Every structure is written in C-alpha cells, then in structure tokens.
Amino acid sequence: MNTVGRVCFLLAFVLVAGCASNKPQAESSTFSELSTKPVPAQLTLADDTPHLDPALLRPKDELFALGPGDRLEIEIVGNPTTRTVTAVGPDGKIYFNILPGLDVWGLTLGQTQDQLEKQLSQYLRAPHVSVTLRDVASKHIWMIGRMTRPGVYPLTGPTTILEAIATAGGTSVSESQANSSELADLRHSFVMRKGQLLPVDFFRLLHEGDAAQNVVLQPDDFVYIPSAQSQEVYVLGAVLNSRAVSYTEDMTVISAIANAGGPVVLQLLGPTASTGTPIDARLSHIAILRGSLVQARLAVVNYNDIIKGRTPDVRLEPGDIVFIPNSPMGTVKSYINMIANVFVTTISANEGIRAGGGVGNVNIVVPLSTPAPAAAR
C-alpha cells in the first residue's frame, strides 16, 4: 500500500450537519451587557484529566512478525555458498535456494527458520538454517511536524516517544542567535493510534521529564508536533471545508466558520419534514476548545443566537479549535474527547497526505448516528 493509501484508511466518516449563514452582529462585551466588541469565551475545564494506561509504557510482549519489504539473510549452516539476502515480497513470500515461494507474512524469525528447515528436509538431510533480520520495511511510525528530520521511520524494536523524537533529530528550535525559543507547539502535539488520541502530555514529557508520558510506540502510530509560530484557528466538523484558518486579531467564532466555507445545511427528509426545515438544533452547541489537548478548556456557544444578535459573537485566540457538531453535547468530558479525536484524525490525514507528496485537505466530521468516541486508555 502506498503512503497516501495508508492515510486514506483513516477517512471513514460521513459529512452531515446544518445551519444558517447570516452575518453576525457582535454587540456585547458580556453576555448581558450591550457593547460593540465580541466577548471572550467563557471556558470550562473538563471534570478530570485523562490518564495514560500504564500498559502503554511497556513494550508489547510479542516477537517481531515479518511483513512485505523486510529483508532477511538466510544461510544453510555449514555451506557458506548458500548465504543470500532476500526480501519478503508484496505477496508475503520469500524465495531461497531450490525452494518454491514460502509464505512468511506474519511469522516470527523462529517460525520462518522452522518452515525453511522443514521444506529443505525434502531435499537435504537434517538441514540447519540460519535466519537473520537485516532490514525492517513492514512496520513504520510517522514523525511529522516541527522536528529536525520529520518523516516515516522503520520500527525495528521497542521504541518510546522520546527515542523516536531523538531519531528524528529532536524538536526544532530557532536558529537565530537572538532567539533560541522552541518552535514546537506542545499544547497541540499528539500521538494517534488506530484513529484515537493517546492522552500524552508533551509539555510534561519534554520539559518536565515526566516518564509517565513516555509511551512505547506501535506500528503505524502517528506522532505530530505542530509549529508554535503558526497563527491559526482550527475549524472542524460540519463545515464545507474543515481546515486551519489563518488567525487575525479580530477573529470570532462566526468569521472563523465563514472562512471554512460556512456550516453545511441538511434538509429534513420524509413525512415528518414536509416543511423542509433545516436541522439546526446542534448549532446551539458549537464548541471552542482551548489549551492542551489533554487538559483542554471548553466553551459552548449558540450559533443561531449570535447571528440573530441575541448574544454577542465570541473572540478567538490562536490555536483554538472551533467544532460544529452533528448533535447536542453530552458531558463536558465526552465532548472534549470527541473533538480532540476529530482534530487528530483530520490533522493526521492532511499531514500524512502532504508527507506522501499529495495536495489538498480532507474534510472529516462525526456522523450523526455515531456516538462520541471514548477516551483513549
């Protein structure tokens, strides 16, 4: 599977939502007093902070399994002329000596050795085979963003986040003699595994040396460290173009959504919707997520009330995530978890496409009938 293909398996979401597009009237400095400026977001902390499962800090108790692209050195012991290096083919097979193709996909080195000796015993008396792993090409981790050498790296053995970041040359810092500040945004850095956010606190890991955050990576884990210098607001969910919007000093919730193409309008269908009224109840629960992904604060605003001038528009800050949902929120914690997972899925897909030489963005939202994802353990 090519690089872009690896990314595309993440994109199993359906685009739905609803709303209106009138120009907002930002008229209040608080939610009860009239003024001419947008108000700051009224933020609420989640009821608790997600914790990493201690099992994530330990290597998986399993042996390396071969896959396509892995290279093996094979030799019949006592006969150096048989020594050869062969790669596991796209079909999972290797070819050695006089043997036909031997399927080794998913086998350990020991199992591969047993299979070779078993097959060779049809032609040789008690053959003993040596099998050595030379190169790994079937298992990778993605190290993307503000690192000295970002890229896709082979996962040759148990590797922690810190080890992987070191392999990628560490996080980037300014080369200016007058400013050696870090260029990495640790608040929005993340590890995504199988479409879910792992609650790793990169600030505690990299600045405080908190070993409890040093997760052991698994094949296809996506580690992303964004730039601290990018002035952007992320607009996700039920909009025409989920993306990062360039921040401006006077940016508000409504202007950010407009920059992402505006909300998607979905007409009710069937006998209960003869009037064709847009589904807009969920627009009363537009979220603003601010701060670290693992210690985020949340504000919920009513889009319809803002565009009708009933409540003021809300001022944003760089790094804010604005999320337009498909249904009203449940608990603060579940809502934050859902938004964080949509964020990492969208960013991972787009950055993965760019890493593979592709262009454009993908637009990911949570389907109407899908419950909010559970927090990663």
Q: How many CA atoms lie within 13 A of 300 on its CB side?
A: 18
Q: For residues 14 and 18, what is the distance between their CA atoms, to the nearest angstrom?
A: 14
Q: For residues 285 and 374, what is the distance between their CA atoms, to the nearest angstrom?
A: 19
Q: Which of 193, 164, 143 is nearest to 375 (CA)?
A: 193
Q: Is residue 208 located within the same domain as residue 243?
A: no
Tokens of 24: 């907002």
pLDDT reading at 370 higher than 50 = no
- pLDDT attached to residue 156: 86
pLDDT reading at 65 higher than 80 = yes
Tokens of 23: 């120009």
Write out the H or E segment, with its range, that includes residue 354: helix 332-355
- pLDDT attached to residue 50: 65
Q: pLDDT band for position 128 (50/70/90)? A: very high
Q: Is residue 162 located within the same domain as residue 248?
A: no
- Give residue-wise pLDDT tens across range 197-250: 999 999 999 989 999 999 999 999 999 998 888 889 999 988 888 888 999 988
Summarize the confidence of residues 309-333 as an average pLDDT. 86
pLDDT reading at 179 higher than 80 = no
Q: pLDDT band for position 140 (50/70/90)? A: very high
Total domain count for the chain? Answer: 3
Q: Which of 319, 317, 320, 314 is nearest to 301 (CA)?
A: 314
Q: Is residue 221 located within the same domain as residue 238?
A: no
3-state secondary structure of 74: strand
Q: Is residue 325 located within the same domain as residue 234?
A: yes
Q: pLDDT band for position 78 (50/70/90)? A: very high
Q: Is residue 128 located within the same domain as residue 151?
A: no
Total count of residues recorded for the chain: 377
Q: Is residue 348 located within the same domain as residue 241?
A: yes
Q: Is residue 334 located within the same domain as residue 260?
A: yes
Q: Is residue 147 located within the same domain as residue 124?
A: no
- Give residue-wise pLDDT tens across range 93-104: 999 999 999 999
Mean pLDDT, rounded, of the chain: 78
Q: Is residue 82 located within the same domain as residue 96?
A: yes
Contacts of 133 (CB under 8 A, 6+ apart): 64, 70, 71, 72, 109
Q: For residues 357 and 34, what is the distance between their CA atoms, to the nearest angstrom?
A: 50
Q: pLDDT band for position 29 (50/70/90)? A: very low
Q: For residues 39 and 42, what is the distance between their CA atoms, to the nearest angstrom?
A: 9
Tokens of 285: 């629960």
Q: pLDDT band for position 325 (50/70/90)? A: confident
Question: Which of 89, 115, 135 is the last residue in one of the domains?
Answer: 135
> Does a structural domain hold residue 370?
no
- pLDDT attached to residue 277: 42
Question: For residue 47, which phi and psi values (nearest 5 degrees)?
Answer: -70, -20
pLDDT reading at 22 higher than 80 = no
Among 83-87, 237-241, 303-307, top mean pLDDT goes to: 83-87
Q: What is the CATH number of the domain that holds 80?
A: 3.30.1950.10
Q: pLDDT band for position 106 (50/70/90)? A: very high
pLDDT reading at 3 higher than 60 = no
- Give residue-wise pLDDT tens across range 33-42: 323 357 777 7
> Does a structural domain hold residue 308?
yes
Tokens of 159: 């590797």
Q: What is the CATH number of the domain that holds 322?
A: 3.10.560.10
Domain with 116 in it = 71-135
> Does a structural domain hold residue 208?
yes
- pLDDT attached to residue 93: 97
- pLDDT attached to residue 60: 83
Full-model pTM:
0.72
- Angle made by CA atoms 254, 255, 258, in degrees to the nearest 5: 90
Q: pLDDT band for position 348 (50/70/90)? A: confident
Q: For residues 273 and 278, what is the distance between their CA atoms, to the nearest angstrom?
A: 9
